[in-house]
Structure 1
Amino acid sequence: MLKTERLILREPRAEDLDAMFAAYSDPQAMRYWSTPPHETPDVTQTLLDGRIAHWAKAQVNFQIELDGHYIGNAGNYARNEVGFMLQRQFWRQSILTEAMEAIVPYLWEVTDHDHLFADADPLNAASCGLLTSLGFHETHRAERTFCINGLWSDSVYFRLNRPT
């Protein structure tokens, strides 16, 4: 568990399901995600079960808690890739910046990654801006990397090298 001024960054819990479903079923929150919005809580339950299992192996992908409630997640979820998701009502409050500013140094402490990477839709200015503000730099772009509900999205890839 990590703590910031406003947030608790913690393990996934079974009781997060309803709040996670609220986030992952929101078409606006999922606009730039790599899967379609969740149609049922069963889809979210599968995601949550996977996060719980992953946490048992490596405590690197966090649930974001504010005032005792799940509001999103952030961290290292596959190999050395980082990502984040936030319920829409908490956008534009610097919550993900605060979370990632705690998570990135933690990842350098507990992993042997020589770099972290992320990908985003180039139209997602908020995520691209967050990554840039954290020190990630763009490495390349690719067209038509995700097809969600018949709509293709492009990707921009970012990298952050381990500090020397």
Structure 2
Amino acid sequence: MSLLSSERILLKDISEKDLDELFKLYSDPEVMRYFGRISIKSKREAMEIIMQNIRMKEEDSGVRYAAYLKDTNDFVGIITLKRYDTRNSRAEIDYIVSPEHQRKGFASEMLALFLEDVFKKWSLERISAYVFLENKPSCELLEKLNFKREGILRHWTCVDNIYYDSYSYSLILSDFEVKKVVNKELGRLHNCFK
């Protein structure tokens, strides 16, 4: 089982143990609103999602982690690498942060930790993310982590017979590496002036 950790967050492979928390996320219509799907109605559906995620990792087409707070073991959310294309060294990501943990910096910490891991382990050149136009916090998060907005994908996602436009974002390896170097230098300068 994979295990990643930062100052406050622990990421681990999703498993059957995450059933209750995943069901809470996927059954909440407000949470699913920007995730591009209709909310689920049963824990059986949540277990099917978990099993799909486990198969995805076994088939080397992606990975999903469940995020927990290190000090309290509270569930924070999920983050996924999917649609891995070996020939073109690219994949897509998605993520959800539980409503009670939003706007506390956990999404940034979770995504930064995740990106560091997947760029190395999956030999990626490009990561894509697709965000509903109305999802401003997600757009701000991606841009903070150096993702570039590439344009608008018209009628990209259909949910309950309604089509939604999405922004297309990408992060390529060289942009990610530059961001790491800049952050390291800013951290060094900050420590010099303490």
Q: State whether residues 122 and 156 of structure 1, in contact with CA within 8 Å, keep that contact through their aligned partners in structure 2.
A: yes
Tell me whether 1:153 sits opposite 2:164 in the alignment: yes
Q: Aligned residue for 1:44? A: 46
Identity of aligned residues (%): 21
Larger radius of gyration: 2
**TM-score normalised by length of structure 2:** 0.79
> Equivalents in 2 of 1:88, 1:22: separation in Å?
10
Structural mapping, 1:116-155, within 5 Å: 116-155=127-166
| Contact 1:19-1:71 at 8 Å conserved across structures | no
Aligned to 2:113: 102
- Residue correspondences, number: 164
Letter in structure 1 aligned against 2:10: I
Distance in 2, matches of 1:7 and 1:57, equals: 27
Partner amino acid for 1:46? E
Is the 2:53–2:63 contact (alpha carbons within 8 Å) kept by the matching residues of 1? no
With structure 1 as the length reference, what TM-score do the two structures score? 0.92
Alignment-derived partner of residue 29 in structure 1: 31
Q: Tell me the amino acid that sits aligned with residue 25 of structure 1.
A: S
Greater relative contact order, per chain length (Cα 8 Å cut-off, separation 6+): 1
- 1:57 deviates by 4.6
Structure 2, unmatched stretches of 5+, are: 85-90, 178-194
| Residue aligning to 1:162 | 173
Which of the pair is proportionally richer in helix? 2
